[in-house]
Structure 1
């Protein structure tokens, strides 16, 4: 039998297989994740007539073998796992692999495993993530007990891929439980400039010394439920938002009544001297020559230095009446009426020490302790107490030795509008003791006047503060303030609006209060107002960065049956940094405020991210990683066995599956809402089809030629 005949037959058979393979490639040109195959042609065993010989040293040269080939065969069909193009889809559960790897799927809910490059996934009626062929996708699923109630926002988007593989099943009725707030973070600026755009009235103060405030811990008056919060006046502002910026010793005079003194003048022709408010006054009078009485001469001498003493003299029923309206600005030498040197001659009735004190000097100090005996003040409460004490002494000198706040008939308060208010109450006797209030700036050689503070306090001025009549008040005293609000969430998912109010309390210090709606409470607040915490304080460095704060943690009790107390960490920035609250000369504003709690939510939608995590979007606005698909890689992808439906199974020549998360090891990345197209190249496949067809035709020609030769042999015996 001719060998060429069988070689032609083998060639036709091999090219038929190649034709089948190429036709299958073309048929799957639109199959998702399909990998084309190729036929591996090999020549068949040759018939050796003579073997090859080596050259002889002194004889014939080497000769090649003499062998005749016996045809061709296909010893394998090889899958080509080149990357297919990624196509965008509108399906949120579609997934495509870019790089090496296979999705892990199971036909029997995890007992056995198969593999595919087709990420055309969907959910069945039970919430299983499956392929179009019904295989359940394998991966890692979030523990239902860990539904985002702990950990950071980043943790909520991660799945533990070190656990054993399991079926990916998502309950369609899934509910994310509420997460109680544990942290409030804020980025803001508190204006450190001389002018504040946002101001609020200074805190109210009543007229009772029973509830004084030390400026550190707020006190409460149980009878009026009035919060007693003393503030550093040096840190306050006027009603237009301009800072007082009081320096040491700056302040005001407050006159509660005109100072007055009446004395008889002694007839004298000689030298007459008097020292009044530290100014020496003298005149020489000879009535026989000048025809001026001693009374008139004395009046003229005193009035001549009125701009130095503030005292003006009048003649009243034959006596000299002195009066100081206390309306000049300056130091102690122009206020009140004080005989500082014994009078002589016509002034013989003036004894050293005679005085009428109705104006009082109030000076600001930055020191920790203010001395009330010399009229020093630092806080609003100290100034209020000084004014109330002195006004009552002026009205009733008998109170000087035994002043009692409970019997005071002149009340000084800081009202709800931030104004010092003076009320001259009726003390019940028949005498009407009216007051006249006049405020001027204090100034000396060493201390300049503070115009803003003087103008604000000067609104008290009134010619007659009638006993039992209307009150008089200053202009508004304000503090720079800024406020922000945020909703806290308790363990039941109930929202509670927390308000943070900041107000400037010193040069580089701001205090803050935290308010929650009743009946909620803040642990550590006062029994009278348990929903208000008022002892927060912020200190800033000279460059405006945060130096420190207290307290860093609050405990919040919602009082509604939820877990309590909740620890709320106040994350307002790091010491020395600008990552939280700052205080620079810039408008007060909140850039960002956030907390980490949220309400319960229903599962609304799902989608894959680029790490293969299945993300669930909930009705509370939160996103949670519910599961993550697993990828498998093999030492030899071409060794996998195709079982149909774009599914492969592991074989001995593929190696064991190495399973892990996308983007790790040799595993590629994944893309959501995308599918991998078939890697069949039609132009190549059609070209190969032509080549295979011609190869088949050529081999068939070898068969027909061999047949003709056989026919010739048969015809030889005819």
Structure 2
């Protein structure tokens, strides 16, 4: 293994790639150690609590086919994949024969889970085309995958939710740590048209995987929780023994004994592992326990119980509260409403509590003069104004919200005074015309008479 060698085979197709595999070379024993980077044994769907669909076992295959002296596949080798996994076969490749792999450990437990980050609902309908610009750095996304971090810049242009997901996925999987050389691959980015949000999933699984995303509020990626991978813990039951190594049992009376002949018929002979969260019990509508299921044989027959209620009491003795503690708040009445510069509508109560009832959002347009007025202070968007861009008060590109302030008049007093004088002059001219017409009519009448 001391000689250098170069892999000249074709690259694995994207759909066939796997991530998280660890390969170490033991220089002392001159052997490779390979782990799949995942966990999980083969389980049928519904056979174990928490496993609804069939679960495949985690496995590693090395040297799937016989090789020729030139390094190509031996075409006479017709063995299938199932017989070529580690632990089977007779071909040696880099110290991995098809059978007799020393130290092979089968997987156990549930499949480990990847780190998943689910974005919030976007402020706009991302099934429709929208434009991404450099305004307020809305095209910048800060991403951390494991130990690799980067600020990703999406090119300006028109996007939809699915095309934005493709652009993010392509750039995230191109991230690389310039110092350690660690790279990112296999991160999946999907857009959910129903929930109108983005979901990020790592290709690697296990509790060592982390994923953090931070982007613009309009995409639902502002201050979202960190994604963490999960690995199940498998604990095998161990037979309890005494100081002499003899097995110990629990009798029906709850005593620890070394002889189980008196209750051998009640012993649990068949069992299978259950993977549950700590303290989790499941009951049906009738109150019967569903999980965990215990295969206990109750062959002891009926037991007679004698209950004595002669000394039982309920409320025939006086009582008083020794101590009263209060950790809540008294009832309060609404005393005031306030709106801060960020648009938060807060209600104040007489018990000193303040509750945020909602938030006022702001809209910005590329051309405010293109808005169409439909009321005294009501406008609607047009093609000339462009689509509205929603944001919060005091955010970059948006103004502050001033609660309780009266808007100053936007009327030009000089212009309105000129219009008033013009209207007055027009009225006077019309009045003079009517007066002249009346005088001429009277003169004509006098002449004819």
- Asked if TM exceeds 0.5, the reply is no
- The alignment's TM-score, normalised by the length of structure 1, stands at 0.15
Highest Rg: 1 or 2?
A: 1
- The alignment's TM-score, normalised by the length of structure 2, stands at 0.21
Which structure is higher in strand share? 1
Higher relative contact order (CA 8 A, sep 6+): 1
